Amino acid sequence: MNYWLMRAGKGGIAKDFCIQQGVIAMDWNQGDMSSLPDDLEAFKEVYCKAHKVESDGEVNANAATNHRFVYRMQNGDWVALSNGKEYC
C-alpha cells in the first residue's frame, strides 16, 4: 500500500466529488493514457504534444506524475487531497 498527495482540481473544485464517490481522477487534457507503455519517455512525448512547454523540468515532473497515476497507483492506496491550502 502506498500513500499519495493529489490536488483535487484547481482550488480543490473536485474534492467533495472525489470524497463522496471514493475515487480519484486526473484531467490534463491529454486523452486516455491507459494505453501508453510503462515508459516515462512515452508520457513525456504525450505531455509535450498536449501542452505549451516552458522547461524540461516541467515536462519531467508532469510526465512523471501522469506515469505514476497510470502505472504506480493501485486500488487500496491511500490518497490525501489538497486544494493548496488544506488537506483532507
pLDDT tens digit sequence for 36-83: 999 999 999 999 999 999 999 999 999 999 999 999 999 999 998 876
The residue with cell 516541467 is: 58
Is residue 19, in this structure, part of any structural domain at all?
yes
Number of domains in the chain: 1
Q: What pLDDT is stored for residue 87 in this prediction?
A: 52
Does pLDDT of 26 surpass 90? no
Q: Model confidence at 9, in pLDDT bands (50, 70, 90)?
A: confident
For 68, residues 6+ apart whose C-beta sits below 8 A from its C-beta are: 4
Please report whether residue 87 resides in a domain: no
Within-domain flag for 88: no
SS3 call for 38: coil
Domain containing 58 equals: 3-82
Determine the pLDDT at residue 24: 86
